[in-house]
Chains A and B, each alone.
Chain A
Amino acid sequence: MSNIVVDKSKVPWWVSNVIVPLVNLTLALLVSGLFVFIAGENPIEAVKLIIYGSFGYIQGFAYTLYYTTNFIFTGLAFAVAFHCRLFNIGGEGQAYIGGLGVFLVAINLSFLPVPIVWLLAIFGAFLFGAAWAYIPAYLQSKRGSHVVITTIMFNFIASSLMIFLLVDVIRDTNQMAPHTVKLPEEIWLPSFEAFSGILGIKIRYSPLNLTFLLAIASLFFVWFLVWKTKWGYEMRAVGHNTQAAIYAGISPHKNIIIAMCISGGLAGLLGVNEILGVSHKIQAGFPAGYGFTGIAVALMGRNHPIGILPAAFLFGILYQGGSEVTFEMPNITRYMFVAVQGLIILFSGALENLFRPQIESFFVRRLNREVNV
């Protein structure tokens, strides 16, 4: 029997929050290496390629940060809802609808001064994402329909709705493909190469843009919201103990809705990166799975902004470095990297507690011994 009982109060924070995730990550990467080996390539070479692809040259690094931006948004989105013990699996759909918000604001208000258009577009993204999360939140709080189910369904509804709009309503009529017209160039968010151009450094194109700073700001925003405001306090109270929340006069209904709307809004901000920053138009399927990967990012980051930043960065490295590998190693397809992501999700999410008791009790024993000596 492996019923190891660990006195949680004795476990140092860095063991549960740093060592355990790192062990899980290492295991995922070891198993991934095995896959690479079976596919007939050298795992060590693959690791070298990942590191080179994501750090080795400026353009690659910019790509890494661009992916990181998206993962920060979707990771934070999941984390906020999770503090109210809600599993918002609908980041994908909320991001999709958020993109619609950005586009509609930007295209219709493009006559306003540029910074104001940006602010309003960001607001539009947040609002549309939040609105899409509001419906499942309402159904959860009033009717008890579980958000896990409804948010998944809302991903499909969002997808169908957007396809309909892109084909029949807002399609660029000069094109056969399901996407909109481009936004006017003057309201595009400045890209990384534009910045470096000012500094006199010339680099090749990358999708990294000003939204990265918005993502960093969002990390602060979530930290402040969850731990420094009474709203965050109430959300956490409802999440930890609904009965006690009711006793203290905190409404579970209200907080479920607030948490889900903020969560949806953060997912919606992905639209700012993709539409105002990169493609400047809505393309069918632009959220491309970032919403789902955000769940893994949040789980790995232990739902705390300080953890989400490195977790998002790690997934950024995998995305960018992974494409480098598939380019250089013909035996490794891009589906292989979907499998690698899957393994990371498996080890840091589903099997999160697989080795936790062993690791924690190991450190507790070790540290106690040091104290006794």
Chain B
Amino acid sequence: MVSPILELTNINKSFGHVQANKNINLKINKGTIHGIIGENGAGKSTLMSIVFGLYQANSGSIKINGKEINLRSPRDSIINGIGMVHQHFMLVENFTVLENIILGFEGETVFGEKLQKAKEDLEKLCQTYNFNIDLDATISDLSVGFRQRVEILKSLYRGAEILILDEPTGVLTPQEVDELFKILRSLKDEGKTIVLITHKLIEIMDLTSEVSVMRQGEMVGHTKTEDTSKEQLAEMMVGRSVLLRVDKKEIKKGETIFKVNNLSVKDDLDVTRVKDVNLEICSGEILGIAGVTGNGQTELLEALSGIRKVESGSIELFGEKISDQNNFLNPRMLKEKGLAHVPEDRQRMGLISDFKAHENLIFGYHDQEPYSKSAILNNKEITEYSNKVMQEYDVRPNSPNLITSNFSGGNQQKIILSRELNENPKVLLVGQPTRGVDIGAIEFIHQRLIDMRDKGAAILLASVELDEILSLSDRIIVMFDGKIVGEKENKNVTDRELGLLMAGVA
């Protein structure tokens, strides 16, 4: 038997306390399109970054054509015939296609006749694979689909035999996806090996001949694509791992507190990300929003919390309109009405990492008594309160004067939660409450959310962790492409069903 072109054995990689890859084994055969599928945070991108030399594995070996190699930088990988097309393109916008491709190799090619030679080589490549690219075009004039082709061309020109594509279709229109698949197939026909990282089942079924499934940093299965089905893959991807048991009382559903009517929201780039969404949340209820990242959950939460303007439709809180396309209440006014918000991205939004812990513990509540009186911060009260909540939420280390960036991710998250839950909000918006948080803290955070619900708060929980949604929610909605594509009571609903909805299949 021929040895596989790429073989990974027992790859381990951790970032701090988080183990992103655990004992990964993977064999990829020459001339195939091999899919790697898994949820967000399953460790796919980390694994491929190790193969491309961006990260170094803590242990394990990488073999190419049966020969063990040591990849310390992308340059080593390129020399060994590995190319990678990232989700975010690495192109210089005001350079031409040709200039971008020879960038980094210009030592020998940039001047004189060698440039001409490079151009001829590239034109030949373009023809072989039907790239249809004008080498003298400036990158900023090209569409996203063409930019991606430039990235592929760049890898090929540098001698890539194995081409890794990280979520290549996320930014493409359906037509561009078709074009890309055509190119990938012709690459395969010429004997190149392609590794496709994706969380979209359709692409796997369409394009690949073999598929490997990752879940929570582990490789959970390999199979030939023809021997499997979308349903089976979804099951493997989401996993039947034991749900975290959370003691949950019978729901005591109260009156409707939060109501969203025909809501549409645009993002900063003026793209509509939330499309005509209707939902209601009652007191004493946790409504879970399942969905793959980037399907409008972020913008929905931002609109509900008063950070983002509403494009059309309206939002009502306690029967009072708080947002429509003309007005919206700012976050502070909403806080006074009893709305708390744990944002998805704590670094970007929930905290100021250069502030001390106690400063972050009053963030957003800093102008309320007792933390400040007539504009002067009351240090004594703030310190007392900080000591108290840091103990209650077991924030480690328990030092209110430490700069926040020195806390671990889980403890930073606890700082946010203690701040937002301390005021006993009537409505709580929570995004990814346990992202990057260790297991012990996850249980603690889940229990707090359940306690809030039992006290009668209305909770909206957005998470990409299906386990989390399933173990906490009373009712689940699934968002795909900005729309609500399914709504289920959390009884007898299976993760498989949700997985299919999330992937936009069902």
Mask of A229-273 contacts with B, CB within 8 angstroms, 1/0: 111011011001101101111110000000000000000000000
Q: Does B385 contact A (CB under 8 A)?
A: no
Using Cβ atoms and an 8 Å threshold, which residues of chain A touch B364?
247-250
A247–B341 touching, CB < 8 Å: yes
Chain A residues, Cβ within 8 Å of B367: 230
B330 within 8 A of A: yes
Task: Report if B363 contacts A (CB, 8 A).
Answer: yes
- Contact A236 B330, CB 8 Å, known A229-B375, A230-B372: no
Q: Which residue of A lies closest to B354 (CB)?
A: A240
Does more than half of chain A's interface fall in helix, strand or loop, or is it mixed?
helix
The answer to the question of A175 belonging to the interface, with a C-beta cut-off of 8 Å to chain B, is no
Inside 8 A of A233's CB, which chain B residues have their CB?
359, 366, 377
Q: Are B307 and A9 in contact (CB under 8 A)?
A: no
Whether B376 contacts A9 by the Cβ 8 Å rule is no
Q: Contact at A249–B352, with CB atoms within 8 Å?
A: no
Determine how close the nearest CB of chain A comes to the CB of B241; give it in whole angstroms.
33
Question: A236–B354 Cα gap in the complex (Å)?
Answer: 10
Instruction: Decide yes or no whether B49 CB sits under 8 A from chain A.
Output: no
Q: Let me know if B331 and A248 touch, CB within 8 A.
A: yes
A230 and B379 alpha carbons, distance in the complex (Å): 11
B223 to chain A, nearest CB (A): 42
Is B349 touching A243 in the complex (CB atoms < 8 A)? yes
Q: Nearest B residue to A7 by beta-carbon distance? A: B406
Measured CB to CB, the nearest residue on chain A to B308 is: A246
| B333 within 8 A of partner (CB) | yes
Contact of B348 among A229, A234, A243, A251 (CB under 8 A): A243
Q: Which residues in B have their C-beta under 8 angstroms from that of A247? A: 305, 307, 331, 341, 343, 349-350, 364
A224 to B351, CA, bound (A): 23
Is B351's CB under 8 angstroms from A244's CB? yes
Q: Which of A236, A240, A248 has the most CB of B within 10 A?
A: A248
Answer whether residue A228 sits at the interface, using C-beta atoms and an 8 A cutoff.
Answer: yes
Shortest CB-to-CB span from B194 to chain A, Å, is 34
How many residues on the A side are at the interface (Cβ–Cβ under 8 A)?
19
Interface string of A303-339 (1 = CB under 8 A from B): 0000000000000000000000000000000000000
List the A side residues contacting B332 at CB < 8 Å: 248-250
**How close is B269's CB to chain A, nearest CB, in angstroms?**
16
Given A9-B403, A236-B355, A237-B363: A244 and B348 within 8 A (CB)?
yes
CB pair A240 B350 closer than 8 Å: no
Determine the distance from Cα of A233 to Cα of B307 in the docked complex, in whole angstroms.
20
Q: Which residue among B352, B355, B402 has the maximum number of chain A CB atoms within 10 Å of its CB?
A: B352
Point out the residue from B333, B348, B351, B402 that lies within 8 Å of A249, measured CB to CB.
B333
> What is the CB-to-nearest-CB distance from B147 to chain A, in angstroms, rounded to a whole number?
27
Alpha-carbon distance A243/B331, docked complex (angstroms): 12
Residue B25 at the chain A interface, CB threshold 8 Å: no
Contact A237 B307 (CB under 8 A): no
**Min distance, Cβ A99 to any Cβ of chain B, angstroms:** 30
For A230, list chain B residues within 8 Å (CB): 366-367, 372, 375-377
Contact partners of B330 in chain A: CB under 8 A: 249, 251
Assess whether B471 is interfacial by the CB under 8 Å rule. Answer: no
The 4 A-B pairs at the shortest CB distance, nearest first, are namely: A249-B332, A248-B364, A249-B331, A9-B406
Interface set of A (CB-CB < 8 Å, partner B): 9, 228-231, 233-234, 236-237, 240-241, 243-244, 246-251
Residues of B near any A CB (own CB < 8 A): 305-307, 330-335, 341, 343, 348-355, 359, 363-364, 366-367, 372, 375-377, 379, 402-403, 406
5 A-B residue pairs with Cβ-Cβ distance under 8 Å, sorted by A, are A234-B366, A240-B352, A241-B349, A247-B343, A249-B335
15 extra interface residue pairs, beta carbon distance < 8 Å, beyond A237-B355, A249-B334: A228-B376, A231-B375, A233-B377, A237-B352, A240-B352, A240-B353, A241-B351, A243-B348, A243-B349, A244-B348, A244-B351, A247-B349, A248-B366, A249-B333, A249-B335
